[in-house]
Amino acid sequence: MKRKVIITVFVITCLLSLNAFALNGLVDTDGKLEKVETSKYMGDTLWVLVAAFLVFFMQAGFAMVESGFTRAKNAVNILMKNLMDFSMGSVAYWAIGFAIMFGAGNAFMGTSGWFVPSESLAEGAATDTSVFSALEWSSVPTYAAWLFQLVFAATAATIVSGAMAERTQFKSYLIYSIFITGIIYPVVGHWIWGGGWLADVGVSDFAGSTVVHSTGGWLALTGAIVLGPRIGKYDGDGNPRPIAGHNLPLAALGVFILWLGWFGFNPGSQMGADAGPISHIAITTNLAAATGAILAMITAWLILGKPDAGMALNGALAGLVAITAGCAFVSPVSAAIIGALGGIVVVLSVLLFEKLRIDDPVGAISVHGTCGALGTILLGFFHEIGDTALGVFFGGGFGFLWAQIVGVVAVFVWCLVTGFILFYGIKAATGLRVTEEEEQAGLDYEEHGASAYPDFNVSSMR
Amino acid sequence: MKRKVIITVFVITCLLSLNAFALNGLVDTDGKLEKVETSKYMGDTLWVLVAAFLVFFMQAGFAMVESGFTRAKNAVNILMKNLMDFSMGSVAYWAIGFAIMFGAGNAFMGTSGWFVPSESLAEGAATDTSVFSALEWSSVPTYAAWLFQLVFAATAATIVSGAMAERTQFKSYLIYSIFITGIIYPVVGHWIWGGGWLADVGVSDFAGSTVVHSTGGWLALTGAIVLGPRIGKYDGDGNPRPIAGHNLPLAALGVFILWLGWFGFNPGSQMGADAGPISHIAITTNLAAATGAILAMITAWLILGKPDAGMALNGALAGLVAITAGCAFVSPVSAAIIGALGGIVVVLSVLLFEKLRIDDPVGAISVHGTCGALGTILLGFFHEIGDTALGVFFGGGFGFLWAQIVGVVAVFVWCLVTGFILFYGIKAATGLRVTEEEEQAGLDYEEHGASAYPDFNVSSMR
Amino acid sequence: MKRKVIITVFVITCLLSLNAFALNGLVDTDGKLEKVETSKYMGDTLWVLVAAFLVFFMQAGFAMVESGFTRAKNAVNILMKNLMDFSMGSVAYWAIGFAIMFGAGNAFMGTSGWFVPSESLAEGAATDTSVFSALEWSSVPTYAAWLFQLVFAATAATIVSGAMAERTQFKSYLIYSIFITGIIYPVVGHWIWGGGWLADVGVSDFAGSTVVHSTGGWLALTGAIVLGPRIGKYDGDGNPRPIAGHNLPLAALGVFILWLGWFGFNPGSQMGADAGPISHIAITTNLAAATGAILAMITAWLILGKPDAGMALNGALAGLVAITAGCAFVSPVSAAIIGALGGIVVVLSVLLFEKLRIDDPVGAISVHGTCGALGTILLGFFHEIGDTALGVFFGGGFGFLWAQIVGVVAVFVWCLVTGFILFYGIKAATGLRVTEEEEQAGLDYEEHGASAYPDFNVSSMR
């Protein structure tokens, strides 16, 4: 009797155990675990794509800022530039840029992954880690990473056009867009984000104060130098004269769009939907923009006597550029300080470049070049995060600060050298600047046979 | 033999059982369950952040609406106001506003959580419920909740500037922005959303018809009263004269941006990515905007004889403001009715305030104040939802309706009292209104040394 | 002794087994599996809603493009049209459109689901598959699907207004918006996406090159034909004269907004957050837009002698329209080719319709009609995807190509027939076109009693 009971119970136990095991084997290991991974994969991809869309929209922001801050007679030209640099950049970055930046290669550049090899559409097709091992830390599909990185590359190219506005040939603009998005920017990106030599040095640039903004800003500097100032920017004694932008509402709209886009730029650079970090980054980004705008307004008020709108708008951008390197690594207090310093420095930088007879119609060199470098170095001081928690000020020590300085200088040198080669090369080959008559008449009529505002009496006598 | 077999089977069973148990223990309890929670946490955070970005973008919408509906000679001033109120508000709400609104405290205000205490960046660091217990119903990180609430606070402040446009000193604007985002708005928020006394009364305001919009609208009312009407708004006999906005396309763009932003404002107030509710809220929000625009157009057509564009645009906003309180609690049919009533009422309200010699250049008092109150009270009639399903009209009964009325009246009184103190205080301390000469010449030149459109022949003789 | 040990171990094993089973039963089947499903459901819904918001924003894009490409004296009218077509469309598509498109019915149209039956707000309330079985492949709530489809319907209606701009009565516009969003468009949608006869034929149109864009474009064609050209568009000899748009920056902003919106339009049409596919679709969409802009610019440069801004902007849109049918089914290379062909064809199409004396102020017929048909047919050639992977060019064979052609022709015929009935009907009933005096003076003054730019000296002599 007893034995029979024991055996019966035993058999039931076996069945239950097998059942439990089967459930585990079937549902857990093969089914649910995969589904849970899929959820994370889904969330990460969703986040990266939404962020990429926001960064794409920054093209509209740049278009509005750059046309708003310049004269009506050149507005069509600037809008066309913005449209075409993104279009040309989309193709160039596809063909070679992404491969140079993230493809397997050497310390200088990637040498594989041209035209971004096709991948399966099947769910679960994550980053191809054999070619793009530099991106294997992010779980999103290669195509999502490509789109996100593409809109960054286009940002770097767009920055340049602002400083070169109102006097550059349309044709030469098309040429340099390809070189910047296809080669010059991706090489910098490879150095810091693609496993290149500056990554080995230990340079930290979370979302691209240096990689994107300084690169754009320093290339803009070389372009502005090679071009020379606009006619009428300096009087006979060499003193700068203000050339006000023709449409402040457009410029303000552009700054709001850029601020919005930065919520993709910085939190998106996490390249995953990690709730804590992306919330933290969104906060530091916003605070730096706010203090940048406030401090730039105050600085301008003190120096120029009025709360200048252009300076305040550029101050918000300066704060955003400055926090971009460290948005994930500093506390809100530090972010507020970094943004504020960006706001002060951008006003001084604009006035300095103006004195140096480097004519930058929209302040792109100061906003992106100067404040990008500033933010990267400030991260050396304000880095507060160990592995998981805030709290340690100057957390990286002198070695980290030194690495940041090396990164800033290296990118500065690279951009100056390649920028001068590029712009002098274009100047020699096809000409870089329009004729004096074209510049006086406005580029819209001469280059595009159009007027931005044909129903209005637009003064072209400025 | 038999025994050996039994023992062997038994041992295997044990191992299988242990295996099953181990898998359960390891994967389920410690690993997967946490991961599943992480997925929900991730999705909620993603949703709240995207919604916050959309609500941030409403700043651009307000900037375009307010500058488009006013004169060209004051456009720079209005844009600067919008930029700076968000910037000042970001700092003030960080320092004290969030603590007053959601920090642990008493029935009147929160008294802890100043400067939003830092939190770990580690994944899984959710809302700090000891300080911000009023937010513990939402699972997102404190920083995500902070950003979402910050953009709401800035909205309340921005509403005020519309009604005070074209005659207010820039300096005084900076001052009142701080008080509104730092104190006056957060106290209202605490009363209804932060566990204060109106929450105890049972006031229901899902996304802020009263908390955000009425607060902004009633403060705008006090500001407009203290300032008095613009020069030229009323003729010698006290009859109102139209002062048309200078750029309707900008205003229309602004309304589209605000409509877009409302898809963050209302569905985001769920503060989680709960599929059913956020879909429902998006639908009710959109329908109310649509019927608001249609009915405002028809009402204006009947009263004014033309389908007035300004009224139709404000009608869309009126529908949005009116549905904000009840978007989660009413059916699509009810939403369409609430929006339609908002569209009718906003036209009548604009005409009424104009007759009362309260000059509101953009209609902010009517759109946000009147329709915010309207929507909150209408929710008392149209509340249809029990715990999970639609169907019971007047679901809250008279007690609920009474609570809604108490909420509306309490916020009205609070805003009138604090608003008059604030604006008379500023008037006494530093002056609130520009001089007659400045107003005639336009604020842009006098306050900012700039012109919004220097390439155009702008008439400043209005 | 031995026996006791065995029994003890046995009992423990039983308990462990039961424990394991209990855990499996409780957590896995009832708890976690549901939660995992919830995660996917949550992610899908989040994606569809965000995409819907982006597509909604395209209304702002169309408003800016259409007003920017026309004259200042008609700007208010066009903005009002855009506001009201979305508002009227929101109501019409709610009342009957969604039911006709996706409700259970016959091969011609849906006949159930009027006013979108209410659904529970409870989490887990997915699509009501008894009424809307055509949508059961997507897991999102009915209300999310409704919002996403609504913004598509409004897009189709908005397209029409561009081609009819500057000469159509406001009243008649309100009427035809209702018919298009309520009946004409939903019938096409039912044929291809709602399980109608073209779905049975095998027509493939992922995101609506034909369903949305061709429908809008061909209806625009009938409208433009019935209206006739604007006064002054053709000289005495019948040669076309250019009538330049009044605000290129607005038009450019509009194109950037549309491009942004297309990241909702195409990847959102997956109606789920499937990481691989949505990333793929975002990439093909972007590449086609880029090559469309580049090739349209080059084509215009060759034919017209200048890199025309209007053509380049329309080229980007043409690329986007062309890739919309196949964005999920073609490789990036194919997408670049499809976009490029769209860019070339749109320039030729614009010049052709101009020669045919069909006056389309913004190029809507060419962008949406011609390039929508082009993209749908090109998909017949470039379809490369089997179930999961890219690789097979002309993957559908001749049968598939034939189905695409049938689909394009059927929609063309339907739109021409219903369009002529609609517009001739309105013409007979209430009149379609404004008087010559109204057209000369501008629609803004006559129809709305307003001016878009009262502070500016606007030339109305064009």
Output the CA–CA distances (angstroms, integers) from residue A82 to A77, A154, A234, C397, in the order listed: 9, 9, 27, 40
Local confidence band at B124 (pLDDT 50, 70, 90 cut-offs) = very low
Q: Which residues pair with A456 in a beta bridge?
A: C458
Contact check, Cβ <8 Å, A91/C291: yes
Residue type, A224: A
Instruction: Give the whole-angstrom CA distance, residue A254 versus residue B434.
Output: 28
Could you tell me the two tokens for C83? 């506001």
**Dihedral of the CA atoms C244, C250, C254, C257 (nearest 10)?**
160
Instruction: Give the whole-angstrom CA distance, residue C317 versus residue B387.
Output: 46
Q: Where residue B148 sits, what CATH number does that domain have? A: 1.10.3430.10
Closest CA to B152 of B278, B274, B284, B266: B266
Q: Which of residues 174-213 of C touch B (CB under 8 A)?
A: none
Which comes out higher in pLDDT, residue B208 or C30? B208
Given a contact as 3+ CB pairs under 8 Å, which chains touch B? A, C
| Mean pLDDT value of segment B133-147 | 90
Q: What is the CA radius of gyration of chain B?
A: 26
Name the 3-class secondary structure at B105. Answer: strand
Question: Is residue C123 in a domain?
Answer: no
CA distance B22 to chain A (A): 10
Instruction: Select the residue of C39, C68, C79 nearest B43 (Cβ to Cβ).
Output: C39
Local confidence band at C128 (pLDDT 50, 70, 90 cut-offs) = low
Identify from C19, C23, C49 which residue to disrupt to test chain B contact, counting B C-beta atoms within 10 A and taking the largest count: C49
The pLDDT value given to residue A19? 46
pLDDT digits 0-9 by tens, C28-60: 434 444 555 678 899 999 999 999 999 999 999
Question: Is residue B5 in a domain?
Answer: no
pLDDT digits 0-9 by tens, A193-211: 999 999 999 999 999 999 9
CA distance B4 to chain C (A): 12
Question: Is residue C10 in a domain?
Answer: no
Query: How far does Cα C320 stand from its chain's mean position?
Result: 10
| Mean pLDDT value of segment A15-30 | 43
Question: Is residue C341 in a domain?
Answer: yes
Which residue of chain C is at minimal alpha-carbon distance from B272?
A: C42
Contact check, Cβ <8 Å, A289/B87: yes
Question: Global pTM?
Answer: 0.92
A53 touches chain C (CB under 8 A): yes
Contact check, Cβ <8 Å, A280/B141: yes
| Mean pLDDT value of segment C251-269 | 98
Name the 3-class secondary structure at C12. Answer: helix
pLDDT digits 0-9 by tens, C342-368: 999 999 999 999 999 999 999 999 999
Query: How far does Cα B71 stand from its chain's mean position?
Result: 26
ipTM over 0.95: no
The pLDDT value given to residue C7? 63
The pLDDT value given to residue A450? 87
Question: Is residue A116 in a domain?
Answer: no
- Confirm if C246 and C443 have CB atoms less than 8 A apart: no
pLDDT at B461 over 80: no
Contact check, Cβ <8 Å, A274/B49: no
Contact check, Cβ <8 Å, B456/A72: yes
CA distance B92 to chain C (A): 30
pLDDT digits 0-9 by tens, C204-223: 999 999 999 999 999 999 99
Question: Is residue C455 in a domain?
Answer: no
pLDDT digits 0-9 by tens, A334-376: 999 999 999 999 999 999 999 999 999 999 999 999 999 999 9
The pLDDT value given to residue A26? 35
pLDDT digits 0-9 by tens, A8-21: 555 555 554 444 44
Q: Which of residues 91-130 of A touch C (CB under 8 A)?
A: 91, 94, 115-116, 118-125
Local confidence band at C453 (pLDDT 50, 70, 90 cut-offs) = very high
Question: Is residue B96 in a domain?
Answer: yes
pLDDT digits 0-9 by tens, C390-435: 555 677 788 999 999 999 999 999 999 999 999 999 999 999 999 9
User: Over C44-59, what HEC string results?
Assistant: HHHHHHHHHHHHHHHH
Which residue of chain C is at minimal alpha-carbon distance from B17?
A: C17
Could you tell me the two tokens for C220? 């625009």
Among A434-438, B13-17, B34-38, C211-215, name the one with the lowest average pLDDT: B13-17
Could you tell me the two tokens for B319? 């529908």
Closest CA to A79 of A461, A361, A444: A444
Instruction: Give the whole-angstrom CA distance, residue B206 versus residue B212.
Output: 11
* Domains: count for chain A: 1
Could you tell me the two tokens for B151? 């953009």
Residue A41 structural domain: 16-109+138-448
Question: Is residue C237 in a domain?
Answer: yes
C453 touches chain B (CB under 8 A): yes
Closest CA to B452 of B223, B173, B166, B177: B166
Residues of B in contact with C449 (CB under 8 A): 304-306, 308
Instruction: Select the residue of C84, C122, C142 nearest B293 (Cβ to Cβ).
Output: C84
The pLDDT value given to residue B450? 87
pLDDT at A387 over 80: no
Q: Say how many CA atoms lie within 13 Å of A51 toward its Cβ.
A: 32
Could you tell me the two tokens for C305? 């002698």
Residues of A in contact with B118 (CB under 8 A): 331-332, 390-391
The average confidence (pLDDT) of chain B is 89
| Mean pLDDT value of segment B301-324 | 97
Residue type, C410: A
pLDDT at C122 over 50: no
- Confirm if A380 and A400 have CB atoms less than 8 A apart: yes
Contact check, Cβ <8 Å, C87/B290: yes
Residues of A in contact with B28 (CB under 8 A): 28
B79 touches chain C (CB under 8 A): no
Residues of A in contact with C46 (CB under 8 A): 46
Local confidence band at B175 (pLDDT 50, 70, 90 cut-offs) = very high
Among A156-170, B65-79, B217-231, C107-121, name the one with the lowest average pLDDT: C107-121
Instruction: Select the residue of A86, A90, A125 nearest C276 (Cβ to Cβ).
Output: A125
B457 touches chain C (CB under 8 A): yes
